[in-house]
Structure formats: structure tokens, C-alpha cells
Amino acid sequence: MFELLFLLLPVAAVYGYYMGYNSSRQKQQNIKNKQNSNYLKGFDYLLNNKQEKAVDKFIAFLNSKDPSFESSLALGNLFRQRGEVDKAIALHEKMSSDESIDDSEKETALLELSRDFISAGLLDRAEDILVKTVDIPRLQHESAILLLSVYEKEQDYAKAIEVANRYSTSLEGRQSRQVSQYYCELAKQQLLDGNKDTAASTYRKAIECCNKSIRARLELAEILVSQNNFLKASQLIKEVSIIEPNSGVICLDKLKKCFPNSADPNYRFALEDLVHRTNSAEAMVELVKTVEQQSGKEDAEALLLSFIKNKSNLKLFSALLELRSHGTDATSNESIMQIKSILDAQIALSNRYSCPNCGFESKIMFWQCPSCRKWESLKPKIGLDGD
């Protein structure tokens, strides 16, 4: 009996090893299955536009496997995207000082760390990193763009311009519109300091940087008007109407300042040109008022009706009611003005500008969209209650 038990010991050992091995394999397989499940569920959530759940699953997937450099980098980026910036910073800081990875990987981790600092509003710490990574050839393009964004947030436009000029080859000229805005912002600061001539020179640099900048032309025109250089100012406004056909309402306010005397025949010609180029309802209304002043009500009404025939717009209807109220009896005039007040109230409630990039709307003009932060993206709204 004891001999039989002794003989069975090797069998028991082999059986134990086999069961243990299978158990270990099963455990590893279960872990792998769980990893794959998290990964596949992440994609499923993405396909169904459930971004928050997708991020949770991808984080679970990355946490459940042996971390590689790429997976750790991705995990940090996911933390940042979901607002857990402190976790992203801690992870990317650890990676950037990890002696087990090569220098190029440390540099990549540093670049991601700068993004974390920007997201956290720690702009000085982001700048400290980016002034170093911007001189690393393979990271120069991304670093220069990030450095521009840091200086833009800090409103240090002189430094932003310096970076754009120094790394213009790496940026490949893609930031010309953005840099033109930096010149405009710098010129605005110079105007506040009373340096009008310096500001005018800076606006000209903005135009050189981006030949299609409407902001630089309009704000330079303001300076020229203040210097009584009305002819040059009106030429700049005309250039704006050529560059951007949907700029009539923006140009009109500046154009009025170029003609202090509204009875000036040249003002009428300038308005006719603006209407022709932009099809702006506000410019049409101003032209009708000028025609009434210079040629009488009959000519003004005929012109206005020709505009209404081709363009349905509340501002034009309101102007027609205004004209029709002239010379009518008191009772009729009161009825007309009541209808006009309803139209004017609707016009006043409507937003005048919108950003096609993000959908933001506003009653006032911004040169940088407050929502998506894109420069010169707001345009006058077109339509019944627009321009």
C-alpha cells in the first residue's frame, strides 16, 4: 500500500504542475480577454458617439497591460483630454525623467508635458519647456505652434511675432493670418500708448504679412481718418470690400467717417460702389437716405423698391416704412410707425455676426471668435433679419 502511494507521488506532482500551469494560463487568458474587451468596447463607444465611456475603456485597457512608452504617452494624453490634467502632468513628468528610455522619447514626453501645462494654465512652465524643444528639429514645428499659442494667451505679441519670424521655415507660412493679427494687437497697444505713427507702421506690417487682412486695413483707415487723410482711408475700405464681399456692414461705419459731409456727391458714389460689391442691406439703407437728401423722396423710394425686389430684408422694409411715413397724415403715420417699431425690435433682437467655424453668434464684432478662438472668423449674418 505504501509502495503504491510512493509510486503515485510523481503522478501527483505532474498533475499538480499541469493544473497549476493551466490555471496560470487561464488567468493570463482571462486578463487578456478583459483587456481585449475593454479595447473593443472603447471602439464600440466611439462608433456610437459615447466619448466619455470610450475614454474610460481605453484607460482601463492601457492600465491593464505592461506599460510601453507609447501606451504611457497615450494614457497621459487621455487624462489631459478628459480634464484630469494633474494625472497627465504627473505621468509625463515621470516619463521625461525616466532613465530607462532614450533621449528622443524623453523629448517627446516633454512636449506632451508642455501641452499639459497649457491646459492647466501654467503658461510660464509651458514656455520654459517649449523654448528648448523648439530648437529640436523633429519637434520644431509643433513646438513653434504651441509657443505661439502661449504668447497669444499671455498677450505678449512682440514675442509671438519674433517666434513666427525666427521659425517661419518650420511653420511653412501657415501662420501668416495669425501673425498678422499679432501685429494688429501690437498696434492696438501702441495706440493706447499714444504712438499713432508707430501703430500705423505696425498695421502696414500686418498687411505685408497677410495681404488679405481686412482688420489691418480697417484699423489703419481709422488712423488715417483721424489724420484727415480721407482719400487713402476710403481706398483701404474699398480694398476690404474687394477682399471680403460679405463685409458691407463692417465697412459702412468706417466709410461714413471718410465723408464728414453726407451731401458730398463722392459719398453717394462710394456707397453705390459698396452696395455693388457687398450687397449689404445696411449700405443700401444708407444709400437710400443719401439719395433722398440729395435727389428727393421719389428717387429714394424707387431705388429702395428696386433693392427690395432683389433682396428680402427687414432693414429694407423698415426703411420703406420710414419713407412712406414722410408726408402722410397723422393717423396713417402712427400706424406705419407702429409696424416699423415691431420690425426694428426684431432687428435689434437678432445677432449681427456669426462664426461659421463653431456657430458662435454675437451682436457685436470680434476679431477673434470668443468660442473657438479663430481669428477673423466672425462674418455679418445674411438673411431676412441679417445684412
What is the CATH number for 368?
2.20.28
Q: Which domain holds residue 373?
A: 350-387
Q: Looking at the domain assignment, is residue 147 inside a domain?
A: no
Given the DSSP bridges, would you call strands 379-380 and 361-362 parallel, antiparallel or unpaired? unpaired
Q: 16-43: per-residue pLDDT in tens?
A: 544 454 454 454 444 444 444 444 444 3
> What is this structure's pTM?
0.78
Q: Looking at the domain assignment, is residue 192 inside a domain?
A: no
pLDDT at 75: 82
Number of domains in the chain: 1
Buried (b) or exposed (e) across 250-267, using 16+ Cβ within 10 A? Answer: bbbebbebbbeeeeeeeb
Q: Looking at the domain assignment, is residue 27 inside a domain?
A: no
pLDDT at 8: 39
Give me Rg for the CA atoms of the chain.
Answer: 33
Residue listed under C-alpha cell 507609447 = 70
Q: Where are the alpha helices (DSSP H) in 193-296?
A: 196-209, 214-226, 230-243, 248-258, 265-278, 281-295
Nearest to 12 by CA among 1, 27, 26, 4: 4
pLDDT at 335: 83
Phi, psi angle pair for 283, to nearest 5°:
-65, -35
Element (H, E) at 160: helix 157-166
Reduced to 3 states (helix: H, G, I; strand: E, B; else coil), residue 279 is: coil
Q: Looking at the domain assignment, is residue 310 inside a domain?
A: no
Q: 154-172: per-residue pLDDT in tens?
A: 999 999 999 999 998 888 7
| Spatial contact of 96 and 110, defined as CB atoms under 8 Å apart | yes
| Total residues belonging to the chain | 387
Q: Looking at the domain assignment, is residue 23 inside a domain?
A: no
- In the chain, the percentage of residues whose pLDDT exceeds 90 is 61
Quote the crossing angle between the two packed helices 230-243 and 248-258, to the nearest 10°: 170
Q: Hey, which residues does 236 pair with through a beta bridge?
A: none
For 152, 355, 370, the CA distances from 374, given in Å and listed in that order, are 12, 9, 8
Q: Looking at the domain assignment, is residue 108 inside a domain?
A: no
C-alpha cell at 144: 513653434
> 10 Å Cβ neighbour count for 47?
9
Q: How many CA atoms lie within 13 A of 27 on its CB side?
A: 6
Report the C-alpha gap between 358 and 160 in whole angstroms: 25
Nearest to 112 by CA among 131, 98, 95: 95
Q: Looking at the domain assignment, is residue 162 inside a domain?
A: no
Report the C-alpha gap between 202 and 277 in whole angstroms: 28
pLDDT at 16: 52
- Residues in the chain with pLDDT < 70? 1-67, 173-174, 327-331
pLDDT at 60: 59
| Spatial contact of 284 and 307, defined as CB atoms under 8 Å apart | yes
Q: Looking at the domain assignment, is residue 100 inside a domain?
A: no
Report the C-alpha gap between 208 and 229 in whole angstroms: 21
